[in-house]
Amino acid sequence: MNDRPDPSARTRLIAPATRRGGGRRPVSPPVERASTLLNDDPAAMRDEGHGPVYGIEDLSAARGLRAALADLEGAADAWLVPSGLAAVTVPLTALLRPGDEMLTTDALYGPTRRFLNRHLKPRGVAASFHDPGAAVADILAALTDRTRLLLIESPASLTFELADVPAIAAACRERGVLTVMDNTWAAGLAFRPLAHGVDVSVQAVTKYIAGHSDLLMGSIAVSDPAVGRQISETIEDLGWRVSPDDAWLALRGLRTLPLRYAEQARSSLVVAEWLQTRPEVARVIHPALPGAPGHDLWRRDYTGAASIFGVVMNGGSEAAAHALMSALELFGLGYSWGGFESLITHETGQLAFRRATPALQGELLRLHVGLEDPADLIADLETGLAAWRDAIR
Ligand SMILES: Cc1ncc(COP(=O)(O)O)c(C=O)c1O
């Protein structure tokens, strides 16, 4: 398995902390909590040469985080917004006008889909959805004269289908269609959308970058300054910024991202491969597992994998899924992923919103593997599967 992050990324995420210049200082930037910033004289008040004039602009930690994310993404610039969801909704708000159409996968993250239906649609932007496993030619055939933007989420939510991003991005660019990619799964590390021709790379910093399940944030990275201007003006117009404490925590998380990401990927494969051998389990959907949908694309394009995957059970019921989950002691019952802790969810709601609900052999569980010892996680799952068997007996 080719799961090693680009070695230079590990160094590049740390090097700015020890860079010379600026005199004696702490390794980490200070947390500057401010709305008001004071000046020595009236003439200096509007002078941006002295730094930000008001707290809505980025202070030290946010500036450091933005620079590190731009470097990680290979971007001209990167912006911070208050959630991963906002990282998707801002580019759509910035780049689409009434009368435009957009295309995306039917396996889109649920709240993003809700934004398309509840916010964009009444404002004259129509979204259509392609099959999550569609061939590139079929995706391109679904573009119309009015399609302005293609939103890629790869791997897609819950069923983890991969898209052929380089081919899709190149074809869209030829047709003047902008591409935005939700790259949360790769954390900006295992896949770099901008290097593959995508216009806007977004991710939920909330997940692997923050890494400790204690903050919400999103990032938006671009290589074209003209696209960047539309995005930064939209963030400014909406009045969004992130708190200095959150920016500081995310920057701290970023320093250890490559190590956590690689270790969690390794553990997740140990757990996923074990689950594959279990009679209670019909199918494990992990892009880094041979045979998973999109595994060949993953091998070709990715340098690592996330530690979140789907487990399709052999039949069962909601009660059996709940029995399994209740018996677990190490897997927390909670949404989200990318933190240091293992989590499990039972997926029912989001699949129902799809245009075509996938036919699964049984109940769908989603596992996120954290930094615990995978042998202990497997022992925990053994207990869960025993409870599952009792429940379906
Ligand atoms: C693929 C994907 N994108 C975006 C988000 C949204 O992130 P946040 O929870 O920070 O809004 C999530 C959250 O689960 C996600 O799974």
CATH number at residue 339: 3.90.1150.10
- What contacts 229, CB < 8 A, 6 or more positions away? none
Residue 2 domain-assigned? no
- 366 phi and psi angles, rounded to 5 deg: -120, 125
* Residue 370, φ and ψ in degrees, nearest 5: -95, -150
Q: What is the pLDDT of residues 244-289, one digit of tens each?
A: 999 999 999 999 999 999 999 999 999 999 999 999 999 999 999 9
CA of 360 to the centre of ligand 1 (A): 24
Query: Which one of 252, 274, 294 terminates a domain?
Result: 252
Pair (240, 277) in one structural domain: no
Do 315 and 188 share a domain, yes or no?
no
**Domain stop point among 236, 252, 268:** 252
**CA–CA separation, 272 and 287 (whole Å):** 11
Q: Is 84 in the pocket of ligand 1 (CB under 6 A)?
A: yes
Query: How buried is residue 310: exposed, middle or buried, by Cβ count under 10 Å (0-12/13-18/19+)?
Result: buried
How many CB atoms sit inside 10 A of residue 28's CB? Answer: 14
From the number of C-beta atoms within 10 Å of its C-beta (0-12, 13-18, 19+), residue 29 rates as buried
pLDDT in tens, the chain (393 residues): 456 545 478 899 998 899 898 889 999 999 999 999 999 999 999 888 888 999 888 999 999 999 999 999 999 999 999 999 999 999 999 999 999 999 999 999 999 999 999 999 999 999 999 999 999 999 999 999 999 999 999 999 999 999 999 999 999 999 999 999 999 999 999 999 999 999 999 999 999 999 999 999 999 999 999 999 999 999 999 999 999 999 999 999 999 999 999 999 999 999 999 999 999 999 999 999 999 989 999 999 999 999 999 999 999 999 999 999 999 999 999 999 999 999 999 987 778 889 998 889 999 999 999 999 999 999 999 999 999 999 999
Same-domain check for residues 286 and 353: yes
The DSSP bridge partners found for residue 102 are 127, 149
> Given 231, 252, 273, which residue is the final one in a domain?
252
Residues 180 and 39 in one domain: yes
pLDDT for position 258: 96
| Residue 1 maps to a domain | no
- Please work out whether the CB of residue 182 comes within 6 Å of at least one atom of ligand 1: yes
Q: How close is the Cα of 154 to the center of ligand 1, in Å?
A: 13
One-letter identity of residue 196: H
Whether 157 lines ligand 1, by a CB cut-off of 6 Å, is yes
216 lines ligand 1 (CB under 6 A): yes
204 ligand 1 Cβ < 6 A: yes
pLDDT value at residue 9:
87
Q: How many domains does the chain have?
A: 2
| 290 shares its domain with 238 | no
Amino acid at 195: A
Cα–Cα nearest to 136, from 108, 106, 170: 170
Helices 244-276 & 374-392, crossing angle to 10 degrees?
60
Q: Rounded CA gap, 52 and 37, in Å?
A: 8
Long-range contacts: 271-276, Cβ < 8 Å, 24+? 271/367, 271/369, 271/374, 271/377, 271/378, 271/381, 272/309, 272/367, 274/378, 274/381, 275/311, 275/381
User: Per this entry, what is the length of the chain?
Assistant: 393
For residue 21, what is the domain's CATH number?
A: 3.40.640.10
92 and 151 part of one domain: yes
Residues 216 and 156 in one domain: yes
For residue 45, report the distance from its CA to the centre of ligand 1, in Å: 39
Cβ neighbours around 20 below 10 Å, total: 5
Best probe residue, ligand 1, of 159, 161, 202, 207 (max atoms within 8 Å of C-beta): 207
Pocket probe mutation, ligand 1, options 89, 109, 243, max atoms within 8 Å of Cβ: 109
**Residue of minimum CA distance from atom 14 in ligand 1:** 336
Is the CB of 206 inside a 6 Å radius of any atom of ligand 1? yes
Q: Which strands form 343-347's sheet, in the order they lie side by side?
A: 281-285, 308-313, 364-368, 343-347, 332-333
pLDDT at 348: 78
- β-pairing, 101-105 vs 332-333, is unpaired
What pLDDT shows up at residue 250?
98
320 lies in some domain: yes
Q: What is the DSSP letter of 6?
A: P
Same domain, 248 and 262: no
- For residue 83 and ligand 1, the question of a CB distance below 6 A is answered with yes
Residues 248 and 263 occupy one common structural domain: no
Domain interval for residue 379 = 256-392
